[in-house]
A and B are shown apart, each in its own frame.
Chain A
Amino acid sequence: MLYIFCPHCGSRSQNEFAYGGDATVKRPELNKEISDQEWNNFVYLRKSPRGKHLELWHHISGCRQWIKVERDTSTHEIFKTYKADELTE
């Protein structure tokens, strides 16, 4: 079970969190004309890297804040966590 540092609450067990997927995906702006392909990429296409990955976690049984977690997908090492509005490196 992972031990995740929530920037709002401190280190907590994984069972307080829900996984939220790739944190690098950016939603296209509202009312913007975009191609099927671009939209498709946003809705469905995700990288699944082996190694460092920036992902979203929702502290669902804690502060209910979405946070960004930089984690190694093969070793589960967590390098850094960020608040939702914090700039990532």
Chain B
Amino acid sequence: MSQDFRLDNIGMVNRNKKISFTFNGKKYFGYEGDTIASALIANGVHLVGRSFKYHRPRGFFGVGVDEPYAILQLERNNERDPNIRATEQEIFEGLEVKSVNCWPSVNFDIGAINNFLKMFFPAGFYYKTFMWPPSFWYKIYEPFIRMAAGFGEASIKHDKERYEHKYEYCDLLITGSGPSGLASAYAAAKNGARVILAEDKPRYGGSLLTSDVNIGNQTGAEWSEKIITELKSMSNVIVKNRSQVFGYYDHNMLVMSERISDHLPKTQKYLPKQRLWYIRAKEVLISSGSIERPLVFGNNDTPGVMLSSAAKEYMKVYGVLVGKKPLIFTNNDSGYETAIEFKKNGVNPLILDTRKEPSSDIISEAKNLGIEIKFSHVVVAAKGYKKVKSADIAKISDNKKDLSNIENIKCDCICVSGFWTPSIHLASQSGNKSEFNEKIDAFIPKKSKQKENTIGSANGKFTLEETINEAFDKGYEVSNKITENNNKVSIPTVVEKKSTEHDKFWCVPLPKGKSYKRFLDFQNDVAVSDIELALREGFRSIEHVKRYTTLGMATDQGKTSNLNGLQLVSDIENKVVPQVGHTTFRPPYTPVSIGAIVGREVGKHSKPTRKSPMHEWHEKNNAVFVDAGVWLRPRYYKQGNETLFEASKREAKNVRKNVGVCDVTTLGKIDVKGPDAAEFLNRVYTNAWLKLPVGKARYGVMLREDGIVMDDGTTTRISENHYHMTTTTAQAANVLSHLEYYLQLVWPELNVNVVSTTEQWAGAAIAGPNSRALLMKLFPNTDVSNEGLPFMGYKEADLFGIPAKIYRISFSGELAYEVNVESDYGNFMWEKIIEVGKEFQIQPYGTEALSTLRIEMGHVAGSELDGRTIPHDASLEGLVSKKKDFIGKRSLSRSAFTKSDREKIVGVVPLDKTTSIPEGSYIVKDPKAKLPNPKLGHVSASCWSVEYDNPFSLAIIKDGKNMIGQKLFAMSPLKNKTIPVEIVSSHYVDPEGKRVRA
């Protein structure tokens, strides 16, 4: 296949390596280094998509990040990657891309009917049309809009690619490797600064790759090659291509997305697809350059109409002609550079210059080359549907209002240049309020808010000499501030052609009797008439105009449309652009993959996984695990074909009948040490702690200052000034922060230290009537009798040579002990307990059985202490001291907390003794009452009581203490169940607590 538009002797692509790819199923080839855009243009393909609203044909408009048209969908390894800019995506062998927003094909697109109905799709069309009737919204309007919305389809499958995050610190981050970026990086690096230089394109050099200039007796491209090679060899410099700095955040944190293997055929195993860099820079130099502005005329969105700088770059970098009969439409000298490049490559362009009689070096050169130029001329409208075929051109009057001598001339592309817009996005994101510069008709950064400076054409400096001098100076100045070195490099001499002033004219008036669409925003199909309409309808603020018309709101975020939009609004309003102001620039500058933002924190890696030292044993013994915060805990140990229900019942029964062992390593443990430890605990917990003797444990409840229960647990006095506190698994971290807060900020006079010891101890709860017999065998040399180790007692003992701590505490309500050993011995302890416990019919039990046991005992846990309950509600008021003060005490005397019919915990049993009550059910008096049915409270936890062999639940209901014995109803609208129930005491089993003291 021949490439009709490929030039032989120009460009930087690798002609030795042919690469084939498919576009909409058809095979094409290009060369290594081509983008999809350059390769398709080389093959004469210009129709690549359809516009968002009117489905008008779309070609290529730019050559980089500003591209509003050529948004394609990439498919590889059966995965879809939407929103790919054809001007940025490099081709690789086997690449498959296709057009979006068209059906059935880009050539014949049914949606294009919108183009003929465009009078029905004015600005604000959605707001006006989809209002009535309301019932149409879900079934008709929304599905329709959803179908019409968006460019391409995101993959719904799991993304198997790898994305990474990296944190980096540097003295100086430079965003863009054009002349100002290279020069400043070089000056700063030579002065000892740690520099990161980021370039979004594959090639370094920016405008130097395409300008006809000379720096230090070298061409621009040669000079940039030399500088970049030297920078790469320096150890204090990181140079990154294909890397877009897209966000400028607080305190000089910038985020950059590096495309590592997007341009490679197949992701290599250990190579991530993209890497997100979080860069904290002491100083930032923004050298992001500028983007050429379009000129606005009729049908200026036709494929073949493109930026003149893009046409030049396609020739000089890719060796590709965008057309063979080009029309150059310009209001400044830049268009001439493109024309000269065409001429040099054997193509005769025609220049239409809006200016009357400008003169400059470049214009003279064009004249000398014999290029045809028409001054005071404009393009009125492009002709041709899927590709430019000709153009209506006209002479324009000196006041730029009247057209004359309209004639049609043949052409196959129209290269437009409406002067340059500095890319001030990053500076603006950092908080820099920009100012309007009359000379260039654009905004440039004003006063730095953060440690940032903008240089080069991003700062409105459009001559190379100015840019190079400023950049060398800035690079030195900024690095000198940081490194205090004084190594100044000499600034090379610059030779460039002098250009003259541009014309402020940017929008061609409509000829009489014509109603051509003149587009401002190419991606969202916003035309001049839409903005006019919005203003007629009363929209004034530019932010409102933007949202009403969607000007600048597409994925290109108005990179080519913003300023022309502002110009138009200010023209209509008889204002100047700075009065209109501009909309806010927000990150990201270019679209970023969600995958890159998420990085590797997906699935299992979204949070750390904590495992107890006995985890492997659980795994080997068929444990089914459950997430408890970040911990993995055995939920039950499956035997044969048991269900969760059967297994947990068996395990709980065995605790009540024989003995069970449960891994309680996950409980939070905090060492509280110091001479004032007792006083501190006395202030933290609601009950009294000053008289707890050494070797004794006590259950305690701690509140927040608002009186709500924060956590509960037992704390044991290990020695005079040493306490071992336990917390619930979920609240461990919060409790530690809470204690530190009071010790460091509120009562710094208390001599107490706290430290987490959760990781240091492995814990096993041994519970059941046989537990003492088992303990006697585990610790034959220790007196574990009821007298030797009474309820709430504590002893240190020897477990087959291992130091262990025994706490006689119980969550299950049975005679129970918790044995702790250092974590490394956890598995040894566990295996010994299982081995020795065999003769007592020991079985391990998981969290499900643990819940059953505590629920039927009426012991509260997280589902009752849910951030809404005070001690009274959980029947813990007996633990609230009346004598001393503690955190949150004052709140308990507030009227809402002392009401006589305050909610209280109760037990709930279904009357039929068989129907389980769903957790979260409401308790009501009359299930048939009118809605909203007044609810008395809710069911907080449910289980199957193994003691009585029927369902049992806990509920927190209004006036709970006076409800016992009443027949009420549990209603679950979610499960559509209404269950007649009886309210009983929450202490369903062993209400006197005899077993724990046995």
Contact = CB atoms under 8 A, between A and B. Distances in A.
B251 A75 contact: no
Interface in B202-255: 249-253
B251 A3 contact: yes
Contacts of B740: 58, 64-66
A9 to B, nearest CB: 15
B744 interface: yes
Interface in A42-89: 42-44, 56, 58, 60, 64-66, 75-76, 78, 84-85
A8 B890 CA distance: 34
B927 interface: no
Contacts of B885: 30-31
Given A1-B249, A43-B706, A65 B683 contact: no
Contacts of B683: 30
Nearest to B736: A64
B890 A39 contact: yes
B748 A84 contact: yes
B894 A36 contact: yes
Given A31-B885, A43-B705, A60-B737, A85 B748 contact: yes
A50 B737 CA distance: 27
Nearest to A34: B890
A84 B741 CA distance: 10
Contact of A3 (B280, B748, B884, B894): B280
A19 to B, nearest CB: 11
Given A1-B278, A34-B890, A76 B251 contact: yes
A16 to B, nearest CB: 12
A18 B746 CA distance: 18
A58 B249 contact: no
Contacts of B431: 75
B156 interface: no
Interface string B733-749: 00001001100111010
Interface in B721-762: 737, 740-741, 744-746, 748
B499 interface: no
B916 interface: no
Contacts of B737: 18, 58, 60
Nearest to B431: A75
B741 A66 contact: yes
Interface in A1-48: 1-3, 13, 18, 20, 27-28, 30-31, 34, 36, 39, 42-44
A41 B787 CA distance: 50
A78 B250 CA distance: 11
Interface string B423-455: 000000001000000000000000001000000
B891 interface: yes
Contacts of B706: 43-44
Contacts of B891: 39, 43
Contacts of A13: 167, 253, 280
B705 A65 contact: no
A20 B746 CA distance: 13
Contacts of A58: 737, 740-741
A1 B251 contact: yes
B986 to A, nearest CB: 29
A56 B746 CA distance: 12
Contacts of B449: 75
Contacts of A43: 705-706, 891
Contacts of B745: 56, 66, 84
A1 to B, nearest CB: 5
Nearest to A20: B741
Nearest to B742: A27
A13 B255 CA distance: 14
Nearest to A39: B890
Nearest to B704: A43
Contacts of B705: 27, 42-43
A64 B733 CA distance: 11
A27 B746 contact: yes
Q: Which of A28, A42, A43, A75 has the most CB of B within 10 A?
A: A43
A13 to B, nearest CB: 7
Interface string B332-360: 00000000000000000000000000000
A39 B707 CA distance: 12
Nearest to B889: A30
Contacts of A76: 250-251
Nearest to A65: B744
A30 B740 CA distance: 18
A85 B249 CA distance: 31
A1 B253 contact: yes
Contacts of B249: 1
Nearest to B252: A3
Contact of A84 (B744, B884, B890): B744
Contacts of B748: 84-85
A3 B746 contact: no
Nearest to A75: B431
B744 A3 contact: no
A17 to B, nearest CB: 11
Given A36-B894, A43-B705, A84-B748, A3 B741 contact: no
A56 B737 CA distance: 12
A13 B249 CA distance: 12
A81 to B, nearest CB: 13
Nearest to A1: B253
A1 B252 CA distance: 9
Interface in B672-704: 683
Contacts of A31: 884-885
B251 A2 contact: yes
Interface string B635-676: 000000000000000000000000000000000000000000
B108 to A, nearest CB: 49
A2 B252 CA distance: 9
A43 B748 CA distance: 20
Contacts of B890: 28, 34, 39
Contacts of B250: 1-3, 76
Contacts of B253: 1, 3, 13
A2 B278 CA distance: 12
A4 B650 CA distance: 54
Contacts of B252: 3
Given A39-B890, A42-B705, A66 B251 contact: no
A84 B745 CA distance: 6
A1 B254 CA distance: 9
A9 B744 CA distance: 17
Nearest to B249: A1
A66 B278 contact: no
Contacts of A2: 250-251
Contacts of B280: 3, 13
Contacts of B884: 31
A61 to B, nearest CB: 11
Contacts of A3: 250-253, 280
Contacts of B746: 27
A19 B853 CA distance: 38
A64 B884 CA distance: 29
B23 to A, nearest CB: 41
A78 B885 CA distance: 37
A84 B744 CA distance: 6
Contacts of A66: 740-741, 744-745
B707 to A, nearest CB: 9
A3 B249 CA distance: 11
A60 B167 CA distance: 19
Contacts of A1: 249-251, 253, 278
Given A1-B253, A66-B740, 9 more contacts: A3-B250, A13-B280, A20-B741, A28-B890, A34-B890, A39-B894, A66-B745, A75-B449, A78-B251
The 8 closest A-B pairs by CB, nearest first: A3-B251, A30-B885, A84-B744, A76-B250, A31-B885, A66-B744, A39-B890, A1-B253
Interface of B: 167, 249-253, 278, 280, 431, 449, 683, 705-706, 737, 740-741, 744-746, 748, 884-885, 890-891, 894
5 contacts: A1-B249, A3-B280, A34-B890, A60-B737, A66-B744
